[in-house]
Amino acid sequence: MPFYVYVIRLRNAVLDERRFARENPNHVAHKPCVYVGSPALAPERRYQKHISKSTSRSSCAKAASQGRDDPRNTSA
């Protein structure tokens, strides 16, 4: 079975959320906020699940940034 690792860069607004601060007490200021996942699904399919309406209540879906962090975007 294939194994994948992916990183989604989060919007800086996530820094203002209490939950983020509580769950990431060692966050270093001025470093990007990222979510790292390791699913069995291909990164493109997992990314779609993160941003889909069915999972829109998840913190990652709300905080995910678009653009060059999108795995479908190869121009970086």
pTM over 0.75: no
Distance CA 42, CA 29 (A): 31
DSSP bridge partners of 34: 9
- Cα distances from 58 to residues 23, 62, 63, 75, in angstroms, run 14, 7, 9, 27
- Specify the 3-state DSSP secondary structure of 36: strand
User: What is the Cα 13 distance to its own chain's centre?
Assistant: 13
**pLDDT for 7-65, tens place per residue?**
889 998 888 899 988 999 999 988 888 888 888 888 788 778 877 855 445 555 556 65
